[in-house]
Structure 1
Amino acid sequence: MPSPSPSPSAVTRLPRDSHDAPAGERPSARSRLFLPLIAVCTAVTAANIYLAAPLLPLIADDFGSTPSAVAWLASVAQLGYAAGLLFFAPLGDSVNRRRLVAVLSLVAAAALVAGAAAAGTGALAGAVLIASVATVVPQLLVPLVAERAPADRRARHVAAVIAGLFTGVVAARVLGGLIGQAFGWRVVFVGAAVLTAALGLATAFVLPVERRRRSGPLLAGLAALPSVVRRSPDLWRACVRQAGMYGAWSALWTSLALLLTGHGGDGYGMSTAAAGLFGLFGLASSAVAPLAGGLVDRFGAAKVVRSAYLLAAVSVPLFWLGGQVMAALCAAAVLVHAALVASHVANQTLALTTTSTPATANTAYVVAGFAGGALASALAGPAFGHWGWAGVCAVAGAWLLLGWAATAVPKR
């Protein structure tokens, strides 16, 4: 894989702390823990972004509001994550990742504790925003994983981290709903804070020791984002297509609690705990990620992305039917998660290998995806309030159409 550009930084690794053990030498415990711990840390930190979504009915009840009136909290988390990516993820090419991972994990944990103590939606939104800004640890680590992976297994290594990410998303919905129903939503926030601090510090410990000497401005990677995307049509296409895919998924998944817990024509009247269990269908993503990685390594990213978009297109009408038929909703949940993770593995592998500055390119890719997701979520809440579940499905379908149509003609 191409090495990062020498302009932002130069890197010197301490020889005995490298994970690349010399031939014939047994890998250290730190080396063996490298990929599994990064995957678990990714699961925990990714869960923070979606922590509020399954708890919206409980938060609304606590603050004397309605679930649709506080649905915007899910968008705050996604926008905060996108902002954190813009400022922190490009630093993976220029600063000491061990220190940055540790500091961001502690900041995110502190913000989650503050959120648990919030007395109103304004204070909670501020805490969620800060926690999400600091929850960028996975995207500091994915470029490192891709860099260290053998070329013929790179997509599979990236897929292992992505599987952890989506496992965290599922855990946020399932465990968050169950624990929130039993002990209250504030306990969920405190538990997430403890796990974030513990896993973040443990992950920082197993990372390679790096001595980075910056030769340019601290935010040089951020300033370089537009030119990096402009020079790489493959990166631009990956960014736009993932924004469409992630936006469609986000509109559906962040609004699902409103459908499952709602009453009357648009709702199944479930409890928060029962609605949270619906998130188990998201485990399809964790199962698909390794398979998608192997397919990308064998057939290339473009074919996998096309297949993923086809699956997502089939899932949208099934979601619409699922407003009345539970079996259709279950099938749609499996399909959309399979589509999202396959698209993500393919597009992120492409983003990480198409330029000489992988951390900066990865930042552009993930920011594009989360910006698309945040905007779709922001529209999905009002759409549900005005047109019910059909309005949410319309937003998802529009996002898929925009994501594919915008890249159908090759960018010169």
Structure 2
Amino acid sequence: MPPATPVREARAVSRETAGPVSRLFLPLIALCTAVTVANVYLAASLLPLIAEDFGSTASGVAWIASVAQLGYALGLLFFAPLGDSFSRRRMVGVLSLVTGAALFVGAVSGGTHVLAAAVLVASAVTVVPQLLVPLVAERAPAHHRARHVAAVVAGLFLGIVAARVLGGVLGQAFGWRAVFAGAAVLTALTGVVTSFVLPVERRRREGPLFAGLAAMPGLVRRSPGLWRACVRQAGMYGAWSAIWTSLALLLTNSSYGLSTATAGLFGLFGLTASAVAPLAGGLVDRFGAAKVVAVSYLLAAVSVLLFWLGGHAMAALCAAAVLVHAALVASQVANQTQVLTTTTAPATANTAYVVSAFAGGALASAAAGPAYGHGGWGAVCAVAGAWLLLCWTATAVRRRASAGAVPQV
């Protein structure tokens, strides 16, 4: 009999603990994912109010939003891989409580540096969704695995939209400190309740504490399917980020002349992702991840063309916003499902995947700013299209090379 792996042990425990409470498993995980991921984007939606409170300008405190992104990246690298070695039930409870405490410190902070430190900690330990996605994939029946992953992905995008849209609205009504305090309570409560629904896992750590982080590069090299999913989602997320981070500049300039608040309502198009995720999950279960990713890239390419036309046509801009979110979430469900079934270290593989997508988004959005300054909206669309083409071509070329290689015996 082969030695037990963390994945096999988790599935065995899942069968033992299945009961009436298991009906709450998927809904609670989706809710916990939405609540938790919103914390990464909370500060960005409240920057004008934070600036006013501390007697600064929005541009003077904008770096706090960057600190949140940095914290999340660090958390992905150091905490998410621990899901292969430690009980995720305990980790979800502890990390949620720490996140809540950090957000509360931010709510009562007296200066930007204390607030930034609190945001950094809160964002670093808010990696709970990336612990829950592999767990959902392990427990799901094989023929419904993508549908279950899609439910968590829907919660992920719903949380991002809620932070960007509701964060500003609630902050305007009650103040940014009240929003931080409310998020602290909601995160801690949701995380603790969710942890009680998760299966009991008996895992023994082998090797150094951060062995998963050290093993990540080798894991990607040895797993062509994982590498392909990482690069393709980096391309998809990069194209989306390039356009979405520059969209407010287009909407508020002379072409449209919208206010910042009105332009922010375009974030509601992110709800498309939550609606498309269940459909994408069913398509992946039926037709396979590769076909869904290919169609997603085609939809993204069409959306880039529509965004370019949307430089002077609002109807094209709205259609593109719907299409690009549909492409992004379908690709996310398909690629992430493939990642979680590619190796026997799902948490480490998932971390590599999310970090790759995050890096792709950061690089493309960094290129989009100068592109807009030099060539306007058309240059931003060119960056997005080139990013899609580059990442798809890179994976297609490597796949053909691997298929033509002579196996070593």
Matched, 1:244 2:232: no
TM value normalised by structure 1: 0.86
Q: Percent of aligned positions with the same letter in both sequences?
A: 74
- How far has the Cα of 1:297 moved from its partner? 1.1
CA contact (8 A) 1:248 1:399 kept: yes
Which residue of 1 is the match for residue 15 of structure 2?
A: 20
Answer whether contact 1:77 1:129 (CA < 8 A) is retained: yes
1:348 maps to 2:336: yes
Q: How does 1:23-42 map to 2 (within 5 A)?
A: 28-42=19-33
Residue 47 in structure 1 maps to residue 54 in structure 2: no
175-184 or 96-105, which deviates more: 175-184
> Following TM superposition, by how much is the alpha carbon of 1:183 offset from its aligned partner in structure 2, in angstroms?
3.0
Counterpart of 2:227 in structure 1: which amino acid?
W
More divergent stretch after superposition (135-144 vs 321-330): 321-330
Give the drift of 1:66. Answer: 5.9
Q: Please give the secondary structure, in 1, of the residue aligned with 2:203.
A: strand
Contact 1:174 1:278 in 2 (8 A): no
Matched, 1:287 2:275: yes
- Give 1:225's aligned amino acid: M
| Residue number in structure 2 paired with 1:270 | 259
- For the pair 1:337 / 2:325, whether they are aligned, the reply is yes
Q: Which residue of 1 aligns with 2:164?
A: 173
Report the CA distance between 1:317 and its aligned residue: 3.3
Q: Which residue of 2 aligns with 1:365?
A: 353
Q: Deviations over 1:183-228 (max 9, x none)?
A: 3333332222222111111111111112222232221211111111
In structure 2, the CA distance between the partners of 1:290 and 1:366, relative to structure 1 (3 Å rule), is same
| C-alpha separation in 2, matches of 1:345 and 1:204 | 24
Contact kept, 8 Å, 1:383 with 1:391, in 2: the verdict is yes
Confirm or deny that 1:406 pairs with 2:363: no
1:204 maps onto 2:195 in alignment: yes
The alignment partner of 1:210 has SS state of coil
Matched, 1:101 2:92: yes
| Alignment-mate amino acid for residue 142 of structure 2 | A
Displacement of 1:318 in angstroms is 2.6
Match of 1:143 in 2: 134
Residue 382 of structure 2 corresponds to residue 397 of structure 1: no
Paired residue type of 1:153: H
Paired residue secondary structure (2:202): strand
Offset of residue 383 of structure 1: 4.9
One-letter amino acid of the structure 2 residue matched with residue 338 of structure 1: A
Separation of aligned partners in 2, 1:403 and 1:296? 21
Letter in 2 for 1:146: A
Q: Which moved more, 1:321-330 or 1:105-114?
A: 321-330
TM-score where L is the length of structure 2: 0.87
Whole-angstrom distance in 2 between the partners of 1:41 and 1:244 = 27
Aligned residue in 2 for 1:306: 294
Question: Which has more helix, going by share of residues?
Answer: 2
Q: Say which SS state the counterpart of residue 303 (structure 2) adopts.
A: helix
Distance 1:384 1:197, change over 3 A: farther
Q: For CA contacts below 8 A with separation 6 or more, give which structure has more relative contact order.
A: 1
Which stretch has the larger CA shift, 322-331 or 39-48?
Answer: 322-331
Q: CA 1:227 to 1:44, structure 2 compared with 1: closer, same or farther past 3 Å?
A: same
Number of residue pairs the alignment of both structures matches = 399
**Residue equivalent to 1:191:** 182
Read off the aligned partner of 1:44 and give its amino acid letter: V
Give the conservation status (yes or no) of the 8 Å contact 1:92–1:359: yes
Alpha-carbon distance, 1:254 to partner: 3.8
Q: Which runs of 5+ in 1 are unaligned?
A: none
- CA–CA distance in 2 between the matches of 1:134 and 1:341? 24
Residues 333, 407 of structure 1: alpha-carbon distance in 2 compared, 3 angstrom cutoff: same
Question: Cα distance 1:10–1:248, how it changes in 2: closer, same or farther (>3 A)?
Answer: closer
Task: Judge conservation of contact 2:216–2:349 (CA < 8 Å) in 1.
Answer: yes
Deviation, 1:401, is: 2.8
**Is the CA contact (8 Å cut-off) linking 2:7 and 2:138 kept in structure 1?**
no
Q: Match of 1:218?
A: 209
Superposed CA offset, 1:255-288 (max 9, x none) = 444554x4x426633253x444332221111111
- Aligned residue runs from structure 1 range 380-395, under 5 A: 380-381=368-369, 383-384=371-372, 389-395=377-383
Q: Look up the SS of the partner of 1:410 in the other structure.
A: helix
- After superposing the two structures, state which structure 1 stretch, 127-136 or 319-328, moved more: 319-328
Please give the alpha-carbon distance, in whole angstroms, between the structure 1 residues aligned to 2:227 and 2:186.
35
State the distance in 2 between where 1:132 and 1:348 align. Answer: 22
- What is the SS of the residue equivalent to 1:20? helix
Which residue among 150, 157, 182 is the counterpart of 1:159? Answer: 150
Residues 96-149 of structure 1: CA distance to partner in whole angstroms, max 9, x if unpaired? 212211121122222223333455555444333222211110111111111111
Q: 1:182 to 1:399 in 2, by over 3 A?
A: farther
The unaligned stretches of length 5 or more in structure 2 are 403-409
Distance 1:60 1:386 in 2: 29
Letter in 2 for 1:365: Y
Do the aligned partners of 1:14 and 1:209 also contact (CA within 8 Å) in 2? no
Deviation at 1:316, TM superposition (A): 2.1
How far 1:395 moved relative to its partner?
Answer: 3.7
Query: What is residue 67 of structure 2 aligned with on the other side?
Result: 76
Structure 1 match to 2:223: 232
Would you say the 8 A contact 2:7–2:344 is kept in 1?
Answer: no
The structure-2 alpha-carbon separation of the partners of 1:157 and 1:14, relative to structure 1 and needing over 3 Å to count, comes to closer
Q: Contact between 1:112 and 1:131, CA under 8 Å: does it hold in 2? A: yes
Query: Could you give the per-residue CA deviations for residues 285-307 of structure 1, whole angstroms, max 9, x where no partner exists?
Result: 11111111111111111111111
Compared CA separation, residues 403 and 95, structure 1 to 2 (3 A): same
What is the alpha-carbon distance in structure 1 between the residues aligned to residue 58 and residue 321 of structure 2? 21
SS in 2 for 1:211: coil
Q: Which of residues 126, 137, 140 in structure 1 aligns to 2:117?
A: 126
